[in-house]
Amino acid sequence: MDDEPIFDEMLGRDDRIRAPYAKFKDWFDGEEPKRLRDKQREAEELFRLTGITFNVYGRAEAEERLIPFDIVPRIISNGEWQRLSRGIEQRVRAINAFLHDIYHRQEIVKAGKLPAQMIDRNEAFLPEMIGVDPPGNIYTHIVGIDLVRTDDDRFYVLEDNARTPSGVSYMLENRETMLQMFPELFSQNRVQSVQNYPSHLRKSLAACAPQGLSGRPAVAVLTPGIYNSAYFEHAFLADQMGVELVEGHDLRIVDGRVAMRTTQGYKQIDVLYRRVDDEFLDPLNFNPDSALGVPGIMDVYRAGRITIANAPGTGIADDKAIYSYIPDIVQFYTGERPLLENVPTWRCSEPDSLAYVLDNLSELVVKEVHGSGGYGMLIGPTATKKDIAEFRKKLTARPGNYIAQPTLSLSTVPIFNRAGLTPRHVDLRPFVLVSPDGIRITPGGLTRVALKKGSLVVNSSQGGGTKDTWVLED
């Protein structure tokens, strides 16, 4: 980590209240601590009553947990947001172009900008998608771009989530909770709305429907079921969009189309927002033991008779080894310099990089190429000697399975606890909707916060919480 002070988004580096937080700090200073503690408990009770939970895999105890929520908002100025939005849009356009290219002519490989083995040997690459043109040529209908901040004007992309990005339900419920508990804050601060995300999502999905349909496209959400860690979100989004929530056994192929079972018989589906991984999507084409998908759906998809969002095979775009090439990918497909920086990354599949990483394990963050949720990673500065020794064995055995990055000095945002306002590290996941009509970025996104002092791990599965994210109007 750098020796310079960590950037605090409310206080800056010199303990002077930054402009976006000025009105909030004035309000906070006028509040009784007891009232705020009562409000914090009230927020927790609201989340419990609403059923906002997530499941933790691999734990015998307390499998279903309440995600912690902090009442201090993270506040971003409109100017900051506009700069971020331009970078996010550029990146999402490039990723979509990259996906089209690797499943067609692979010009980026022919140009020598990406080694062929990064695709050929990548388990997230789906040969079944070669030559397939998704409706509207959209692969990434819903994208989550994870960002971290290290200074007043410096943001980095930590990772891209192009498969099935989760967390948008928490963004919406966080805002609803804050509006309910602190309406006066929203009359004092001009905060851009996020509540219309479900209607924008439905419109965006409908705009991606196959051509030639008569009438309004039928949209449904495909969930693996109640035991999935994000089931609350699947049900929440289906309800908010006013569409059906379905499981694989509710669907079948009828007359060359995907149809869902209803009380009036089977009804055609035109757009399926799937929250089922590629491997389980179609037992006839992928994992034959899957009971979560729909037999034959890939054949219907290849025939252009249904839209699957996100498209099968998009996972290669959020592979952490591919991530290290994203600056080149942006340059190749847009002809522009990337507006958002990557975190410097060592690919452990390369001998020189592996040697450096092995020599500096205690200072680096090492991640699995296909890992998520904060699992399967090593945070060198906080790891024990035993952890490092065990990880060294894994890394030596399968170097291509890992990438490494420096430990960034992530910015902090205050949380409210018994000590008052206390800084904690955060990241940000803005949500992006992509359709032939354009790209829409919801103003704000999901701020995840490491509730443990000094911790850099913000994932809810690892003890992190969330907070409302405000983007102010001018």
The pLDDT tens digits for 86-118 are: 999 999 999 999 999 999 999 999 999 999 999
Among 407, 433, 459, the domain-final residue is: 407
Instruction: Classify residue 206 as left (phi > 0), alpha (psi -120 to 50) or beta.
Output: alpha
**Do 42 and 189 have their domain in common?**
yes
Judged against a pLDDT cut of 90, whether residue 321 lies above it is answered with no
Residues 398 and 300 in one domain: no
Residues 303 and 338 in one domain: yes
Q: How many residues does the chain have?
A: 474
Question: Which of these, 233, 263, 255, 253, lies nearest to 245 by C-alpha position?
Answer: 233
Each residue's pLDDT tens digit, 274-294: 999 999 999 999 999 999 999
Specify whether 378 is located in the same domain as 423. no
- Residues 336 and 356 grouped into a single domain: no
Domain membership of residue 274 (yes or no) is yes
Q: Let me know whether 402 and 437 are in one domain.
A: no
- Give the model's confidence band at 47: pLDDT under 50 very low, under 70 low, under 90 confident, else very high: confident
Residues 317 and 271 in one domain: yes
Tell me whether residue 235 is in a domain.
yes
* Final residue in a domain of this structure, among 407, 427, 443: 407
Same domain, 139 and 172: yes
CB contact at 8 A, 273 and 310: no
Q: Which of 455, 416, 459, 441 is nearest to 37 (CA)?
A: 416
* 36-71 core/surface letters (b: 16 or more CB in 10 A; e: else): beebbeebeebbeeeebbbbbeeeeeeeeebbbbbb
Average pLDDT over residues 184-208: 97
pTM passes above 0.85? yes
Residue 60 has pLDDT above 50, yes or no: no
**Domain presence at residue 8:** no
Asked whether residue 400 falls in the same domain as residue 453, the answer is no
Q: Is 34 helix (H, G, I), strand (E, B) or coil?
A: helix
**Which distant-in-sequence residues (6+ apart) come within 8 Å of 444 by Cβ?**
76, 171, 175, 192, 194, 430, 468, 469, 470, 471
| Three-state DSSP state, 443 | coil
Position 211 in a domain: yes
Please tell me the total count of domains within the chain: 2
Q: Is residue 303 part of a domain?
A: yes
Residues 67 and 143 in one domain: yes
Distance CA(206)–CA(201), nearest Å, equals 8
Which residue range(s) make up the domain with 402? 344-407
Of 389, 407, 425, the residue at which a domain comes to its end is 407
Looking at residue 214, its pLDDT comes to 85
- Same domain? For 202 and 256 the reply is yes
34 and 85 inside one domain: yes
Residue 3 falls within a domain, yes or no?
Answer: no
pLDDT at 2 over 50: no
How many CB atoms sit inside 10 A of residue 130's CB?
A: 12
CATH number of the domain enclosing 350: 3.30.1490.270
Residue 7 in domain: no
| Beta strands in 209-316, from DSSP E residues, in sequence order | 219-222, 244-246, 251-254, 257-262, 265-268, 271-274, 307-309
pLDDT at 375: 63
Cα–Cα distance for residue pair 405/353, rounded to 1 Å: 11
Residue 5 lies in a domain: no
